[in-house]
Structure 1
Amino acid sequence: MTQPEQQIKPRLGILLLDTAFPRILGDIGNPESWPFHVRYEVVKGATPDAIVKGDPTQMLNAFIEAGQKLIANGCTGITTTCGFLSLLQDDLKSALGVPVATSSLMQIPTINALLPSGKCAAVLTISAESLTAAHLKAAGAPLDTPIIGTDDGAFSTAILGNKPELDVDASKAEITAAAKQLCAAHPHVGALVLECTNMPPYAAAVAEATGLPVYSIYSLVSWFEAGLAPRSF
């Protein structure tokens, strides 16, 4: 028998940026995206622009406090809603004392280990201008990882501008176009990693357009939660 809703205690806690844009199905911030229960905690003042374009380390204490609230409510693992928060990985896991997965970029070393010789993972990000070697290093990713962004397009403008409306069709078109451009420029790319946690709704379209495996915060969190709450068989 399924447990009553009020008795279900999510093991996964998600640190949610302070946002106004639509959280469509597939977005990490939409609870219906997950086949398991999660718990959210908003980090007040942590807007997309502040985290991507600014210095997220300046908000470390706010993220720690929000993470502590999730842990107090029974969460035993913490993730976030922005790949740029790889910069907080070491500080958050040390401060919170539980497993922490801040960024989809953390999958890159494992993906590279799976690919044939000469192939590597590449990154599709909301802002190539802002994604630095420091973000890659913090995630354990090679510094020469190929990167392309959707900078200044409809998707990036809506998310970073924290706008209340999102043109889903335009976003899909420009994200898939960027992925194809990335693969054309780097023929040795063997898989794609979506840095932005708002990109998973378009992952299937990217995979179809490129013929490559596509990894995202959805794949990372699905794996992560499977260890926090192993299924009974």
Structure 2
Amino acid sequence: MPLPPRGTGRIVHGRSNLYGYGVGILMIEGYFPRLPGAIGNATTFPFPVLHRIVKGATSAVTVRELSALPPDSDEYRAAVAPWIAGAQALEEDGVKAITTSCGFSAIFQRELAAAVNIPVFASSLLLAPLISRMLKPGRLVGVISADGGSLGPRHLIGAGVDPASIAVVGLEGCPHFEETTYADHHDLNIDLLEAEVVSVATRMVDDDPRIGAVLLECSLLPPFAAAVQAAVRLPVFDFTHLVNMVQGAVVRQPFNGFL
């Protein structure tokens, strides 16, 4: 076969050291295990994802401390700055969309989206308006949060969530979840943590019959989604649905079939 003339044929242009990543994930800093299904475990997804740790952004800081800072304060801006820098670095690495490993990142959804030129979906809470529209009027989205007491109006505004459309319960008071997530214990008892999550979900649905679907806000909870659904018999949504949806949008595949 003769060589094509120089400057013709199929040509690709480089712009990064890394290739083949659709979604980049900004990770809170924590060294507890991430089970398959958790967003911090790369085997959760059937496609490559690019993780980047945000140094200093622990679970306690992101979930419990950040929302207590005034949004116009120097302390808040300093806390959000490494997230913004991480998002910009992921964009430079060539990802096509960016998410995080914490639903509480909804509080700075707008800051992250403004800092880059690719889509940002910082929080699983972005699913809540969609789920709400699926339900019969008067039904609620039951949100299981890492900390219900810390999930406030600024998070909901960041995700575009109508507070009247959701019912929130938190995992505060669940000893194993607390010691794993906030104390960063490196040993995780899968059965114990699953029992805590299922217990919270069951109590939430029993207490409020208006709940028509469940949203697992925390990215550590998807490994227990099947057990939650078996217990409450409702649709159960989580962070992995959002990542898979965005991956499908930014890395479209041709349909295969026949007429």
Q: Do the two structures share a fold, i.e. TM-score over 0.5?
A: yes
Q: Is the 8 A contact 2:18 2:94 kept in 1?
A: no
Does 2:157 align with 1:146? no
**Structure 1 position 18, deviation (Å):** 0.9
Larger Rg: 2
Unmatched segments (≥5 aa) in structure 1: 1-5
1:64 counterpart = 2:84: yes
Q: List runs of 5+ in structure 2 lacking aligned partners.
A: 1-16, 68-75
Correspondence for 2:209: 187
| Residue 48 in structure 1 maps to residue 68 in structure 2 | no
Mapped to 2, the partners of 1:127 and 1:169 lie a distance apart of 21
State TM-score, norm by structure 1: 0.94
Cα deviation digits, residues 92-142 of structure 1 (max 9, x gap): 001112100011111111111111222121100111121112212221112
**Structure 1, 202-211 or 157-166: larger mean CA deviation:** 157-166
Alpha-carbon distance in 2 for matches of 1:184, 1:54: 31
Distance in 1 between the 2:186 and 2:223 partners? 17
Q: What letter matches 1:173 in structure 2? A: A
Instruction: Tell me the distance in 2 between the aligned counterparts of 1:139 and 1:69.
Output: 23
CA distance in 2, matches of 1:162, 1:102: 22
Provide TM-score, normalisation by structure 2.
Answer: 0.85
Identity of aligned residues (%): 32
Q: Establish whether residue 89 from structure 1 lines up as the match of residue 100 from structure 2.
A: no
Superposition deviation, residue 187 in structure 1 = 0.4
Distance 1:230 1:163 in 2: 39
Q: Does 1:136 align with 2:156?
A: yes
Instruction: Identify the residue that residue 9 of structure 1 maps to in structure 2.
Output: 20
Aligned counterpart for 1:199 among listed residues 218, 221, 224: 221
Is the CA contact (8 Å cut-off) linking 1:83 and 1:105 kept in structure 2? yes
Q: Answer whether contact 1:193 1:215 (CA < 8 A) is retained.
A: yes
| Secondary structure of 2:38's aligned partner | coil
**Cα distance in structure 1, aligned partners of 2:198 and 2:153:** 24
Look up the equivalent residue of 1:206 and give its one-letter code.
V
Summarize the alignment of residues 189-228 of structure 1 with structure 2, pairs less than 5 Å apart: 189-228=211-250
Equivalents in 2 of 1:190, 1:202: separation in Å? 19
Residue-by-residue CA offset, 1:57-110 (whole Å, 9 max, x unaligned): 442110111111111111010000000010110110011121000111111111
Moved over 3 A (4+): none
Aligned-CA RMSD value: 1.4
Distance in 1, matches of 2:114 and 2:184, equals: 30
Secondary structure of 1:54's aligned partner: helix
1:187 counterpart letter in structure 2: P
Letter of the structure 1 residue corresponding to residue 237 of structure 2:
Y
* Distance across 2 between alignment mates of 1:38 and 1:152: 33
Matched residue SS, 2:50: strand
For 1:162, which of 184, 191, 208 is the aligned residue?
184
Q: Which amino acid is 1:172 matched to? A: E
Counterpart in 2 of 1:3?
none
Alignment pair present for 1:124 and 2:144 = yes
Number of aligned residue pairs: give it.
228
